[in-house]
Each structure stands twice: as structure tokens, then as C-alpha cells.
Structure 1
């Protein structure tokens, strides 16, 4: 028997003897849930937090669920009568017209008690269909791989799609209704109302900075830049510790955890080892100089402080990755994994210029930095977390008389400035004034220098050079150089001004 005859004789089987499989769905569960909603609109609220129209397999059922949701959210009652005017009256479902089909759904409705179970069944089947689609795409692309898509790129794409499916129950992206966007904005305002300090974003732990920025906003790319010695890593570690230390979790209806205050922080330390970073954080928080910690030049009281802090540190959700020269794709993959396994609310990258792009050898450095910043911006949106990316400034600052940084000082600046939602510069005038100290203390200019030094000693400026959601300006902070710690100034009248 040849292949063609065998296939004709067994039309439901393929070469391996496997039956043709249809995508999993449960039309009866969809009908039962819609019937329950039409009879009692409270059933909609049992499922609306996780079930979306796209989760229904039958297109008509998607439309009915969407119409019912829109009607209920407007404060009206969704019934067979109110919905049928929005559906084509001449459409057919088997022998029934659509109005008759709606009436049949309502007549055979299950009780509201079962609504959530049916909703979960529909949701789970939709996830399985999405998994099948992703799996089929993976197989098909692997068989017929385009020349411009290496296997690593396919892995990253599949991982991204699976992550989106795991996080949101959908991976297709696409348009979102304005109603949903408004609901999210209202939820954000409500969360800000309940959060410490009434901030719309995550508090940095530095009040004068929060009052200018409203905290760190989700999905924002915040570039923190400065010349070496200005303290950009110190400010980043201060903020990271403050956020992780104030983490307070809240249980969600689906059993998952969400940050009520503070958050889980992922810190990519491309320059320093995790041990160096931990020493720095210990110094900042215990007020024991990091040079003393490294040399072991500490008293018994200092040692007790360090031990006490190390015990506290074990409970704090601050995770450090010290891989040097990491690519944007690797960073994205690890960040997704961290979010799935431990949660993630803020990501810190120290610093952009130590990262690599896709690895194409024909790209120049400016193109590579563009790829990195675009990738970071996309990652922030995908994970819905703020990303603090540290960046170096060009040497042009040093050749100017006024050493205050400007946007044009960002190295390979075009894409960094363009992709960033916020650009912060750390500037310590003390650093430059200290280097101008006259060698002879009897020099007539020595008193003038000392007065100037006393004026700027122990202070730092955080210059908000760009901010999409708020004003630019300067925030003046206190800086304790021996502990590399930034804090609010004691005199609040001196903390900030706008320009």
C-alpha cells in the first residue's frame, strides 16, 4: 500500500500514527460563564481581574464578554436585551439567531458560585493554546531559520514570549482599549494614595529627590551619570538599599506578592565585585569606613555593628549580578528569570559603557550604545520596572571652567539622551575645590579657598537635566565621603531649586 492510499484510508492519522489534534478549548464552559453573567452581573466581577475577551476561543463569545464588560463598567446592566442591540441581529449560530442564542445562554445559566471555576478553565485553556502557538513558531523557525536570525536570537525571542505569557496571560501585545489604560491610571493613583509619602512611583528613600520626581516610575529608563569620583555608584547603591530595605509585600487575589512599599532590587555590578559592593553598602549603613573594613582596622563595637548589619542584610531582597561585559540580551534573560523566581521592582545597571550589544563586529561604539539603551528601555517596559542605568560622562567636562555637567557631556550621548525618561547628573563641587587647595597655607588666597571649601564641603548636587513627567532642576544633598552616603540636608529650605 503506497503512502497516498494509506493516508486516504486513515485520514485522521499522520505518518507516525498520531491523531490530528485540535487546539484545546471548552465551548460549554464559555457558554456557561456568559450565561451566568447575563443572569447576574456580579459574576463578571468574579472573573474580570484575570479573564479578558481574547481568552475565549469562540469569536462571538469574545464579543459578548467584551460588550458585557463595557456595559457593566459604565454602571449599566448587561442582559440579553441590552446586549442584543450591539450584535448583528441577522447573524446565525446554527439554527438560532444571535438574540435567540443570547436568550438560550441565559436560560441555561449556571449559578454565580461556579462562575470563577468556569473562568479559570477558560483562562487555562487559552494559555495552553498560546503555548501551542509559541511552540509551533519555535519549531517552524528552527526548521526554516532566516539568515538574519541566529539560534541565540530565537532563544531570546521565545524566552521573551514565554515570559510575557507567564506574567500577563497573553503575549500578543497589540492595541489596548482606552478604558483599560484609564483603569490602570486610576489604579496607579490609588496605589500612590496608599503608599508611604503618597508617591506615584517607588521611593528612593531620599525625600528631596522624591519630591521632584514623584519616586521612580515603572517602565522608566533613568540615566544616572557623572564623572569618576562624583559618587554615581554610591548614589545608586544608596537608592538600591533604601528601596530593598523598605520592602513590604502585599498578597494579591491570585496568591502572588506585590510590593506595597519599597521593592525587590536587581543590581548588575559590571565594574565592582559583589564583595566590593556589599562592603560599600555596609559602610554606608553602619558608618564604618570601607577602607577600615578592608584593612580589618575596626574596634569591637564596629565589628558588632557589621555582624548585626549582615544579619539584617540577609532579609533584604537585594540581588547582585557581578558578570562583567554582559550583553543586553543576557541581562534581559537574567532579569526575566529574577522576576519570575524572586520578583523584581527596580533594576540597576552599573554601568552602560561596560555592557556589550549584540556582538556584531561591524558596529561602531555609538551604534552599540544605541542598541544597549534601546534594549534597556524595551526591557523596562516589558518587565514594568524602572531601570537605573549609570553612565560615564566625556572628558569635555574637565576642560571647562564650569564643571557642572550638561546633556551634551553624555558619552556617545545621542541615544542615551533620547531613550532616557530621566537624566540625573551627580556633581560634587567639593571634589574640584579640594583639588584647588593652595600648597602654601600662608598664601593670601588660602583663606579665600578655605571659605569656598567650607561652603561646599559635605554637599552634592543631583541635577535633573531631563524628566518626561516633571520639572528639571537641582536637588542639593548631604554627602558623607568617608561612608560614601547621600542623605537629605538638615536644612530643607536649601535642598532644591528649579530651572
Structure 2
């Protein structure tokens, strides 16, 4: 008789007969795979670039396959804009397929943000429909240029982590995506009867980490930080305990990047237009802070080392 697992579910017959050794990988395979990975890293073809040269150097070439990177900040720091930057760099600049799943905003708002950033048009004017003729012509031209870009967007409002990861796995057949981005880790719904001791955000992070490893694709997720950083004199985030709903998220992630902008608190700061990407955790390398530029008018980040 099949034996239920700890969740009360009965495994499929095939799963019960599977030899555990089938899951083991021989050392020879691992060693030759490691050599292939070294060659790919040397040729800069292993990781997915972030669009920030200094950050890519810090991360060993970019976002590595099979890893979960969590981008987190206090409200209005630009987490969603940074996630859009990653999608834009992958799909628009390098013409590689990317998937964006946003719990934060509907698809028409995402489209406006992408166009504002790409056409250098003020987001508030684009949203209000008050842009001038020159800006309008630039938006139309950029729209035509981006129409064939390999960026797929879903807005999974009210989905559970299981629903989300199953749906993405179905989409990602035959290695379809080079990058998967999820905006709104804190908004993933729990199962109605979920009795897990972990908060839903931690369960979602764990599910996305498993998805990254299964698909061998870098997954980047946006999360929220709590109020603890506001109590510090410089208001800078840093400890993994700063996560709003569960510091377990920081322990599950391979890389944690916290976004901080001084001008979000002080509009007269000498660092207006700058943003710090604080690498608060890096499972495979050093931690550091990378400074990039942020243009609030267009809602976009940029690499200061590139024109």
C-alpha cells in the first residue's frame, strides 16, 4: 500500500519505484561540467548580465543560472524600476528572452513605465497623456522598435507560489527564458488551508529558488523592507533582518541586493540622481555597494560607466 508523505499526500506509483541512485550525478560528469562552466565564464556566456558593469564584476559575471536574487527596499526607492531595468537590458538590449511576473501593477502600467524609460519621456506626463509632439513621436518610434522584443509579461494577482511556479515552469519549456523576474514577493498568496509555520513570503522565496534550480535560470524577485532602517541615522538598510515580513527570505536567497537612495529622504542631498545597490548577501563571493544612477522623471536606472 502506498505510504502518504508528511503532508498526507500519496506519491505516484512511479515515484515509489524510482531508484534513489538515479538522482545521483557521477563525479566524472560533475568535473567535466565544471570545466564547461569555467570556459563559459571566461567567455562571458555563463551568466545573465545585469546591465551594471561593476555589479556584474562583483557577482562573477552577472546573475548565475539556478540562483535566486532578491532585490529589496523601502517604499519608493525604485525596486520595481530596477527589476524593469533587468528585463530591459536582457530583452531590449541583448535580445534574449525574459519573463516578468508582476504582482505590483497591471500590464498597461508596466507598459507605460517601459515606454517612459525607453523613450526618455516623463512618466507622469505619459500617464496623464500630456506629452508634447516630439515626445509623442519618440514614443511611437520606440514602440515600433520594441514590438518584437522577447519580453513576456504576466500579472498574476492573487496567485499562490505553487500556481506561479507551475505556470512559469510550463511557459519555460525548451529553455525559453534567460531571465525570470517576479515583482511582489510579499504579495504571493498562501494556500487557504496553509498551516506552514513560515510566512507566505518565505514559502514563495523557497518555491522560486527551487524553480531557478529546476530550470537552471536566474530568478530575481522584488521584496519589501520594514521600518528598521528608518531608525538609523543614515537610514541605510543592510542586515537581513530588515526584511518586512520574514528575514527567512534573506537566508533562502543566494544574493540580496538592497536599494537605497539618499534623495528619497533629502531632495537637497548632494547625491541627487544616485542610488546605492547594497549587496547585503552574496553566497558565492564578496559583499559590497555599487553606485548607479537613477532618473526619477523616466523611472529608470542606468550604469554611470556607460554612455
TM-score of the pair, normalised by structure 1:
0.56
Aligned position for 2:279: 464
Please list, as runs of the form range in 1=range in 2, the aligned pairs for 1:426-445 lying within 5 A after superposition. 426-434=259-267
Give deviations 1:354-407, integer Å, cap 9, x for gaps: 00234324445x443332222111111001111101110011222322211022
Which residue number in structure 2 is paired with residue 374 of structure 1? 206
1:71-110 residue pairs with structure 2 within 5 A? none
Asked whether the 8 Å contact 2:156–2:164 carries over to 1, the reply is no
**What's the counterpart of residue 104 of structure 1?**
none
Question: Per the alignment, in what secondary structure is the counterpart of residue 401 of structure 1?
Answer: coil
Higher share of residues assigned helix = 1
Please name the residue that 1:175 is paired with.
24
The CA deviation string for residues 87-131 of structure 1, in whole angstroms up to 9 with x for no partner, is: xxxxxxxxxxxxxxxxxxxxxxxxxxxxxxxxxxxxxxxxxxxxx
Distance 2:247 2:133 in 1: 51
2:51 counterpart SS class: coil
The equivalent position to 1:273 in structure 2, one of 78, 90, 106, is 106
**2:142 pairs with 1:309:** yes
Matched, 1:483 2:298: yes
Which residue of structure 1 aligns with residue 173 of structure 2? 340
Question: Which residue does the alignment assign to 1:409?
Answer: 242
| Corresponding residue number in structure 2 for 1:297 | 130
Deviation at 1:193, TM superposition (A): 3.2
Aligned to 1:241: 88
Match of 1:201 in 2: 47
Asked whether the 8 Å contact 1:235–1:486 carries over to 2, the reply is: yes
Q: Does 1:186 align with 2:35?
A: yes
Aligned match of 1:395 in 224, 227, 248?
227
Gaps of 5+ in 1: 1-139, 162-170, 249-262, 435-449, 493-499
Deviation per CA, 1:284-340, whole angstroms, max 9, x where unpaired?
A: 111001111111112222122111222222211111111212111111111112111
| 4+ aligned runs moved over 3 Å, structure 1 | 144-147, 361-364
Q: Please state how far the C-alpha of 1:341 moved relative to its aligned partner.
A: 6.9
Matching of residue 219 in structure 1 with residue 66 in structure 2: yes
| Residues 288 and 371 of structure 1: CA distance in aligned 2, closer, same or farther (over 3 Å) | same
Aligned to 1:456, what secondary structure does the other structure show? coil
CA distance in 2, matches of 1:177, 1:315: 42
Contact 2:175 / 2:215 at 8 angstroms: preserved in 1?
A: no
**CA–CA separation in structure 1 for the residues paired with 2:22 and 2:112:** 42
Contact 1:199–1:215 at 8 Å: present in 2 too?
Answer: no
Quote the offset at 1:199 in angstroms.
6.0
Structure ID, larger Rg: 1
**What value does the CA root-mean-square deviation take over the aligned residues?**
2.6
Distance 1:477 1:337 in 2: 35
Instruction: Point out where structure 2 has 5 or more consecutive residues left out of the alignment.
Output: none
Shift of 1:351: 1.3
> Residue 192 of structure 1: CA displacement?
3.0
